DNA sequence: ACAAAAGTGTTGCACGTACACCCATGT
DNA sequence: ACATGGGTGTACGTGCAACACTTTTGT
């Protein structure tokens, strides 16, 4: 099939806002750029979309190349298209986000040398970022803040087994406010998507808390109900 | 500043899903294409983004050129980037939506001859559309359906003065379900964003209904409250 | 024994939902 | 007078918010 479209020196890119939770802190994944422009600056993992790849696949590939992370389910949340957002020409970027579980020391190894390293950085302690990446991050943060308040998606960020207090801390970090312990527990347990385990927390110097697991089957049911209109 | 970005024969476009409400029916704005590919097909108003124009401005320009409509506030809702969505090459499109008031006979006159005409078509009676525009429409419809259920935005579609029944009908059309009259009225009046007028409906052969106006000041306050987290 | 966090119930309020009849007006 | 939609109230259930003390465990 012949291409008869006009040609512009414009390109599409992808940028990824990947959230993780570790050590009581909400973090995002940043790379240190190894190329101009903004060489040696911190930036969101992002790169140019290949012309034979759908944007969703491009997002996966780019994240993998820059951080070594695979099989991360990302969702598009906004497209940024100001004319001068990239100093070298017109670049429209589609921003994706994901929330992932940091299984202890998940290794971050850039495959491409477009990034010199990839690191988890606490969202409350972000450095200056390249391009308009601060704006993109901020909108991505809004997105999860909004989403978490009507869908119990926080489990994606926690280890497989977690205590209710950990879950609550995560909510508090994302929503930036204190929550009432009793109400929080009541609500979460009422959803019916937590499985109480026979296990307890270990290695703490105070009363050990019960561990819970997230019940995917029940979650799917609840989620479906929420998508459907009642009555 | 020199452009040193790679060159691809990829282009960006904008597509607009513009909702209107008229005659008890929810409609969207379609154009009849006057160019290949899909010449003489119905399509969403859409075209290519100029490389010196932000995507938001491009959306306004494109809508104006194809339909003659000006000063419509549109919001981006999704970007579609499958490789083969356009038969002539790689085109990634950013989709926008808007809800507008049809002031009686607002004229639709394509400025560019890329469209031979622009017409309001009921969403329940859509023809086959060019490209993947049916998918884009459907996602745009999801968007307003979702939005209306947590924000009272339906006023944007109604005439300045309207009856509660008209408002209810609009909700029913968008949500595709019947609503209870008493509950609906109670809820809407409780929001406190409707101003009751001293005027009544005219020209009906039954008891005339009170007319209401939408109170923008109070709406802004309510909206702000909803955006902020309580307590 | 003490420090530190785990765990637990009740009450009031706001809001959604279900439900049916009389009223005003034009023809 | 009749047809057509306009307009109205109550009772129940659910879910959220506010609020403080006892229990368990490791050191």
**Alpha carbons B38 and B91: distance in angstroms, whole number:** 15
Q: If you measure CA to CA, which chain B residue comes closest to A149?
A: B229
CA distance B15 to chain A (A): 14
Q: Based on the fold, state whether residues A112 and A173 are members of the same structural domain.
A: no
Domain contains B70 = yes
The count of domains in chain A is 2
Q: Based on the fold, state whether residues B68 and B123 are members of the same structural domain.
A: yes
Q: If you measure CA to CA, which chain B residue comes closest to A226?
A: B146
Domain contains B229 = no
- Asked if the C-beta of B227 comes within 8 angstroms of chain A's C-beta atoms, the answer is no
pLDDT for residue B153 is more than 90: no
DSSP per-residue letters across chain B: --------SEEEEEEEEEEEEETTEEEEEEEEE-SSSSTT-EE-SEEEPPTTS-HHHHHHHHHHHHH---S---EEEEEE--TTSSTTSEEEEEEEEEEE---SS-----SSTTEEEEEEEEGGG---BSTTHHHHHHHHHHHHHHHHTTS--GGGGS-SSB-HHHHHHHHHHHHTS---HHHHHHHHHHHT-EEEEEEE--S-SSPPPEEEEE-HHHHHHHHHHHHSPP-
Model confidence over B161-188: pLDDT tens digits? 999 999 999 999 999 999 999 999 999 9
Q: Based on the fold, state whether residues B133 and B183 are members of the same structural domain.
A: no
Domain contains B132 = yes
Domain contains B227 = no
Residue where a domain terminates, one of A121, A147, A173: A147
B2, B5, B79: residue with CB nearest A11 = B5
Check whether residue B103 has its CB closer than 7 Å to nucleic acid strand D. Answer: no
Stated in angstroms, how far is B48 CA from D16 C1'? 48
Q: Can you give the CATH number for the domain in which B179 is found? A: 1.10.10.10
- Asked if the C-beta of A52 comes within 8 angstroms of chain B's C-beta atoms, the answer is yes
Contact criterion met (CB below 8 Å) for B163 and B210: yes
By residue range, what is the domain housing residue A212? 161-222
Domain contains B230 = no
Check whether residue A105 has its CB closer than 7 Å to nucleic acid strand C. Answer: no
Q: Based on the fold, state whether residues B16 and B120 are members of the same structural domain.
A: yes
Go through B171-181 and write b for each residue having 16 or more CB atoms within 10 A of its CB, e for each that does not. bebbeeeeeee
**Alpha carbons B29 and B122: distance in angstroms, whole number:** 9
Check whether residue B189 has its CB closer than 7 Å to nucleic acid strand C. Answer: no
- Asked if the C-beta of A23 comes within 8 angstroms of chain B's C-beta atoms, the answer is no
Q: Based on the fold, state whether residues A172 and A142 are members of the same structural domain.
A: no
Q: Based on the fold, state whether residues A135 and A24 are members of the same structural domain.
A: yes
Model confidence over B71-129: pLDDT tens digits? 999 999 999 999 999 998 889 999 999 999 987 656 788 999 999 999 999 999 999 99
- Asked if the C-beta of B2 comes within 8 angstroms of chain A's C-beta atoms, the answer is yes
Residue where a domain terminates, one of B120, B147, B174: B147
Contact criterion met (CB below 8 Å) for A78 and B76: yes
Q: Based on the fold, state whether residues A124 and A66 are members of the same structural domain.
A: yes
**Alpha carbons B60 and B16: distance in angstroms, whole number:** 9
Segment A201-229 shows an average pLDDT of: 80
CA distances from B195 to A114, B66, B180, B189 (A): 59, 36, 21, 9
Q: Based on the fold, state whether residues A104 and A206 are members of the same structural domain.
A: no
B49, B52, B91: residue with CB nearest A5 = B91
Q: Based on the fold, state whether residues A46 and A104 are members of the same structural domain.
A: yes
CA distance A81 to chain B (A): 5
pLDDT for residue A103 is more than 80: no
Q: What is the pTM of this model?
A: 0.92
Model confidence over A8-17: pLDDT tens digits? 567 899 999 9
B3, B79, B90: residue with CB nearest A94 = B79
- Asked if the C-beta of B38 comes within 8 angstroms of chain A's C-beta atoms, the answer is no
Q: Can you give the CATH number for the domain in which A94 is found? A: 3.90.79.10
Q: Based on the fold, state whether residues B132 and B181 are members of the same structural domain.
A: no
Q: If you measure CA to CA, which chain B residue comes closest to A88?
A: B3
Domain contains A139 = yes
Q: Based on the fold, state whether residues A142 and A173 are members of the same structural domain.
A: no
For the purposes of burial, counting CB atoms within 10 Å of the CB of B227, is it exposed (0-12), middle (13-18) or buried (19 or more)?
exposed
Check whether residue B204 has its CB closer than 7 Å to nucleic acid strand C. Answer: yes
Model confidence over B19-46: pLDDT tens digits? 999 888 999 999 999 998 999 999 999 9
Residue B229: pLDDT band with limits 50, 70, 90: very low
Residues of chain B with C-beta less than 8 angstroms from the C-beta of A48: 5-6
Check whether residue A231 has its CB closer than 7 Å to nucleic acid strand D. Answer: no
Q: Based on the fold, state whether residues A98 and A26 are members of the same structural domain.
A: yes
Residue where a domain terminates, one of B89, B120, B147: B147
Interchain CB contacts (distance < 8 Å): A and B? 111
Stated in angstroms, how far is B176 CA from C22 C1'? 30
């Amino acid at each position: 099939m012949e291409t008869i479209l006009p040609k512009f020196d414009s390109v599409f890119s992808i940028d990824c806002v990947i959230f993780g939770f570790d050590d009581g802190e909400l973090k995002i994944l940043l790379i240190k750029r190894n190329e101009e422009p903004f060489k040696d600056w911190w930036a969101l993992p992002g790169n140019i979309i290949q012309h034979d790849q759908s944007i969703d696949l491009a997002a996966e590939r780019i994240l993998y190349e820059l951080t070594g992370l695979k099989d991360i389910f990302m969702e598009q949340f906004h497209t940024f298209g100001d004319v001068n957002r990239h100093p070298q020409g017109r670049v429209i970027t589609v921003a994706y986000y994901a929330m992932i579980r940091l299984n202890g020391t998940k290794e971050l190894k850039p495959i491409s040398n477009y990034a010199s390293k990839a690191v988890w950085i606490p969202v409350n302690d972000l450095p200056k970022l390249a391009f308009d990446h601060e704006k993109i991050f901020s909108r991505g943060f809004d997105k999860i803040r909004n989403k978490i308040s009507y869908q119990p998606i926080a489990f994606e960020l926690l280890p497989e087994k977690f205590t209710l207090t950990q879950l609550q801390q995560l909510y508090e970090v994302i929503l930036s406010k204190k929550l009432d312990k009793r109400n929080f527990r009541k609500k979460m347990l009422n959803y019916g998507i937590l499985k109480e385990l026979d296990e307890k927390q270990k290695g703490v110097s105070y009363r050990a808390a019960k561990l819970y697991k997230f019940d995917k089957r029940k979650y799917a049911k609840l989620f479906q109900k929420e998508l459907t209109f009642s009555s």
